């Protein structure tokens, strides 16, 4: 299997530039920097570089506090590689510093990987979550220490890699340490006979306060709640809940944060067909005493919403998608509602349910009942202290571990 993979990646090399050009036309690659994925860069490399490799936006967000900690020491030179445009845009806004560089990650081709490593020659490489690229891993491990941080293996990935057990085990054995984000992943790794495992907790629990440019002012709300990461197929459910709650409450503000912003126009058409009163955050920067639906049609404003809403319903859990990550609103002490389909984050939700921070709601009736209960509960329960304690423990253990590996 390993030799077949290497052969195929060598064979496709002449066509990679053509593929990237095609992706540029579709708006999925940076037209100025796509060559970085071919191992070519104009960035002058530094000695003793600490390399963090992520895939997309979620992974770069998860290591934001880690990066900022090491940025404080100007002796460190940091390289962050990522795959997606959104992760690069996040780097530009939140992590760009004199001692920190960004490059688009090299494609998993032996020729390209060798070019990349020859240029950067990192002191240590830290891959985040599930970045399992055979050529990149094997070549990197030959020249420096390699760590897999916040590793997550889903049930579907586990089923897939079971078919290629020896191949997968061989890849993972190139990591000096694998730091898992949950005990389910640790159990999966034990199946493959991996021994060098550590567990500190999920990095995404680490609280990270950022100065967001896209903020909205929210004031004077009598009753409000937010539905986050809502898939298009779940919009009808949210509207039914909103309409039913409106019959029981004098004023109600429902914030809807869609999972995919390319569906905004279709969502608006649904609102118009139902004669619903709504505003969009892109055009309404102040939400004052508003009675209706607030449609979030831009990135970066979710934190403003979490600050003013203690009830957050997580999407992707009322269809067989597997749920969305609830960690982001937890930093603001929000209470989480979710459906039955949470298999992507089972361990996280189970832990939150035990602590009575999250609540399972199976249908619109249960959603309505729970929202009314939480809105009418005069006893304000704050979970900030639990999340803050968990955040500090994970952060301190992770930093302590990384410092021992780097120094």
Q: Is the pLDDT of residue 180 over 90?
A: yes
Q: How far apart are CA 98 and CA 95, in angstroms?
A: 10
Q: What is the mean pLDDT of the chain?
A: 91
In 245-367, DSSP assigns E strands to 253-258, 278-280, 286-288, 292-295, 311-314, 335-338, 358-360
| pTM for the model | 0.76
Looking at residue 210, its pLDDT comes to: 52
> In this predicted model, which residue has the larger pLDDT, 145 or 43?
145
Q: Is the pLDDT of residue 117 over 50?
A: yes
Q: Is the pLDDT of residue 213 over 60?
A: no
Q: Is the pLDDT of residue 119 over 60?
A: yes
pLDDT band with cut points at 50, 70 and 90 for residue 3: confident
Among 181-195, 215-229, 379-393, where is mean pLDDT lowest?
Answer: 379-393
Q: How far apart are CA 175 and CA 276, in angstroms?
A: 54
Let me know how long the chain is.
Answer: 407
Q: Which of 316, 324, 313 is nearest to 360 (CA)?
A: 313
Looking at residue 379, its pLDDT comes to: 47
Per DSSP, the residues of 5-17 read HHHHHHHTGGGHH
Spell out the domains of the chain, with CATH numbers in brackets.
2-199 (3.40.50.11720), 217-387 (3.40.50.2000)
Among 48-62, 78-92, 204-218, 375-389, where is mean pLDDT lowest?
Answer: 375-389
pLDDT band with cut points at 50, 70 and 90 for residue 6: confident
Looking at residue 343, its pLDDT comes to: 87
Residues 6 or more apart whose CB falls under 8 angstroms from that of 347 comprise 182, 183, 184
Looking at residue 214, its pLDDT comes to: 55
pLDDT (tens digit per residue) in 248-287: 998 999 999 999 999 999 999 999 999 999 999 999 889 9
Residue recorded with tokens 């989480």: 336
């Amino acid at each position: 299997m390993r030799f077949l993979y290497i052969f195929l990646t060598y064979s496709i090399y002449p066509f990679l530039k053509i593929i990237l050009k095609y992706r540029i036309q579709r708006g999925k690659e940076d037209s100025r920097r796509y060559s970085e994925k071919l191992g070519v860069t104009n960035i002058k490399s530094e000695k003793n570089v600490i390399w963090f490799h992520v895939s997309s936006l979620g992974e770069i967000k998860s290591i934001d506090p880690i990066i900022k900690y090491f940025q404080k020491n100007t002796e460190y030179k940091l390289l962050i590689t990522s795959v997606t445009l959104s992760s690069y845009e996040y780097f530009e806004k939140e992590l760009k510093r004199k001692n920190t560089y960004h490059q688009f990650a090299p494609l998993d081709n032996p020729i390209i990987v060798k070019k990349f490593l020859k240029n950067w020659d990192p002191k240590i490489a830290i891959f985040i979550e599930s970045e399992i690229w055979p050529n990149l891993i094997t070549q990197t491990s030959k020249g420096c220490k390699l760590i897999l941080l916040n590793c997550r293996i889903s049930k579907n990935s586990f089923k897939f890699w079971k078919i290629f057990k020896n191949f997968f085990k061989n890849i993972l054995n190139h990591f000096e340490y694998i730091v898992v984000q949950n005990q389910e992943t640790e159990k999966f790794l034990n199946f493959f006979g991996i021994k060098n495992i550590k567990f500190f907790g999920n990095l995404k629990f680490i609280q990270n306060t950022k100065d967001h440019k896209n903020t909205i002012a929210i004031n004077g709300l009598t009753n409000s709640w937010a539905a986050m990461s809502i898939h298009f197929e779940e919009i009808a459910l949210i509207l039914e809940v909103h309409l039913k709650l409106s019959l029981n409450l004098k004023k109600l503000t429902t914030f809807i944060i869609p999972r995919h912003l390319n569906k905004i126009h279709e969502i608006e058409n649904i609102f118009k067909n139902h004669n619903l009163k709504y505003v969009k955050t892109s055009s309404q920067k102040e939400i004052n005493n508003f009675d209706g639906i607030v449609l979030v049609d831009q990135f970066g404003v979710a934190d403003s919403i979490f600050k003013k809403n203690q009830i957050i319903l997580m999407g992707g859990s009322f269809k067989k998608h597997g749920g969305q990550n609830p960690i982001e609103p937890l930093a603001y002490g929000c209470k989480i509602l979710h459906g039955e389909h949470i298999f992507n984050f089972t361990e996280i939700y189970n832990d939150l349910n035990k602590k009575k921070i999250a609540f399972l709601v199976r249908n619109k009736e249960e959603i309505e009942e729970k929202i009314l209960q939480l809105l009418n509960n005069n006893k304000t329960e704050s979970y900030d202290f639990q999340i803050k304690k968990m955040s500090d423990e994970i952060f301190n253990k992770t930093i302590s571990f990384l410092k021992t590996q780097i120094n």
